[in-house]
Chains A and B, each alone.
Chain A
């Protein structure tokens, strides 16, 4: 898939994310839109996963720590063929397996997440097991910036470096906002890069909406041999829709019919600008 095709796919995925949220009347809009390009690149260019063989012991593992941005994950996984897109008509409906967080009941989902600060420790365990068994698959997680205040992330960051887990990749969806406001005002976690480097990680910062840059950062192996990698993906919360971008009320805002139409129109129009 070319960069051009991937960029168009990101816009399609954003349109679907909004459709699911609009239909379910619930969802994490801002973070799903900020993380769409990351997930698109992961599932279409990086992860060695097969929807037909989801338990292949040699598959790469992807565990979404910021589980609440499930709409972007589900949109991407449906597109990748893990389940029919029509399944998502049941999103958040009574007894649906497609709930507001990832669950293992869904083909290809590795872990039940939702509580914050859980993905990285589990990934450390997965990466350790891969090292013990001398397997070459990689382990990926996507972290939210708000969840960096959870101490368990830092416990796992210590362990990841201690055990030299260069098969472990964390991607930070760094949109710099959380439910109450800007990270810097709620609980300042900056400078994230310095902190992770001090913990013994190799860190690279990229534009989290640049599919080529994300591909390069995630596809070239560990940033440094013997160290876990952190990709800080600078993103925009609500990316792609003018009135949602950087507006905290869209953290889990549900669009009205008019807002939904406008958002779809804006996204469709933006396809013309893709180079």
Chain B
């Protein structure tokens, strides 16, 4: 099954989360003149051209200067604006890291940092354009919510919550169309994981655009092997929903984490840290990008290469269940 092609009976396909971000921001700006998008020559890739046309006084172009992007956004936020600083995740979370640490998080200026085309969305462009370090570096910064929405539902709610919240937030988006993972959900909170599939044999915890292949793997396991997996969208990497992880780990079932991030310092290690320090000894495996020169290709090709895929995750589950 191709990652971006699903059968109609499975899940309803939605838009790219980035489009939903842009549309939600426009809806918010309709009634709130303090919403300001700040861009680093990134309004096209951030899908913000319509926003800029509709709200020309609520978009600030900084040019290709990510440090200034975040510093200016901090100043705008300090003056009462709801600033959304939008830039490719690779540049935003590395080049402007000191501004994120000092001007946003430490100074407690409620900027929403929006990392676009994150992970390996720009897979073929090489490591300069990959952001597979952002969870790790941003997890190490106090006073910053780190969130990678999995689908359009989570995206819309995360954008609305970020605008409401008087706190710094990092939102991470990819470029692919994403299916609605659990159409029955009505509530969203930062720091509260979302169970998108219930099972009793193992738990798969994904985040962002890896929740979908985790869901697909669970379906494959059920259809072909009768194995039922719980699938969680752990959209918020920090603060981590340790309550949910503890509940899911209590049965001793294997746990697999899946992330579009290097295995160092991301979702998997955050979960492992909690589990180990709280007496859980479940079989545990982190699926992500290993500490090597990352292979290049499309996002799907890179996912397949590292087993961040329906087959890769299912194979890992079978191995852990000794099947």
Contact = CB atoms under 8 A, between A and B. Distances in A.
Chains A and B are bound partners: yes
Interface of A: 57, 61, 104, 110-115, 117-118, 120-130, 132-133, 151-152, 155-156, 158-159, 162-163
Given A118-B103, A129-B76, 10 more contacts: A57-B80, A112-B106, A122-B78, A124-B68, A125-B71, A125-B76, A125-B77, A132-B36, A152-B71, A159-B63
20 contacts: A110-B78, A111-B74, A111-B107, A112-B106, A118-B71, A118-B98, A118-B103, A121-B68, A122-B72, A122-B74, A125-B77, A125-B78, A126-B76, A127-B75, A129-B80, A132-B36, A152-B68, A152-B71, A155-B67, A159-B62
Given A115-B102, A158-B63, A132 B81 contact: yes
B17 interface: no
B79 A126 contact: yes
A17 B103 CA distance: 27
A122 B103 contact: yes
B73 interface: yes
Nearest to A126: B75
Contacts of A122: 71-72, 74-75, 78, 103
Interface in B83-132: 83, 98-99, 102-103, 106-109
Contacts of B145: none
A57 B83 CA distance: 18
Contact of A121 (B36, B67, B77): B67
B11 interface: no
A241 B228 CA distance: 78
Nearest 8 pairs between A and B by C-beta?
A: A125-B75, A121-B71, A129-B79, A155-B68, A155-B65, A125-B72, A122-B75, A126-B75
A112 B108 CA distance: 9
Most buried by A among B60, B63, B68, B109: B68
A125 B109 CA distance: 12
A130 B75 CA distance: 10
Contacts of B108: 104
Contact of B99 (A118, A126, A127, A128): A118
Nearest to B85: A125
A124 B102 contact: no
Contacts of A111: 74, 78, 103, 107, 109
B-side binding surface: helix, strand, loop or mixed?
helix
Report the contact-size class of chain B (Cβ under 8 Å from the partner).
20 to 34
Contact of B72 (A61, A113, A132, A159): A159
B9 interface: no
A147 to B, nearest CB: 13
A133 B57 CA distance: 10
B93 to A, nearest CB: 16
Contacts of A115: 98, 102
A166 to B, nearest CB: 16
Nearest to A129: B79
Contacts of A158: 63, 65, 68
Contacts of B60: 128, 163
Nearest to A135: B79
A124 B71 contact: yes
A125 B63 contact: no
Contact of B81 (A112, A129, A155): A129
Nearest to B33: A132
B107 A112 contact: yes
B98 to A, nearest CB: 6
A115 B83 CA distance: 22
A129 B77 CA distance: 9
B183 to A, nearest CB: 39
B63 A129 contact: no
Contact of A152 (B67, B77, B81, B109): B67
A122 B75 CA distance: 4
A94 to B, nearest CB: 19
A174 B272 CA distance: 52
Contacts of A104: 107-108
Contacts of B36: 132
Interface string B15-33: 0000000000000000000
Most buried by B among A111, A121, A123, A124: A121
Contacts of A162: 63
A121 B103 contact: yes
A235 B57 CA distance: 40
A271 B76 CA distance: 43
A163 B102 CA distance: 24
Nearest to B106: A112
Contacts of B103: 111, 118, 121-122
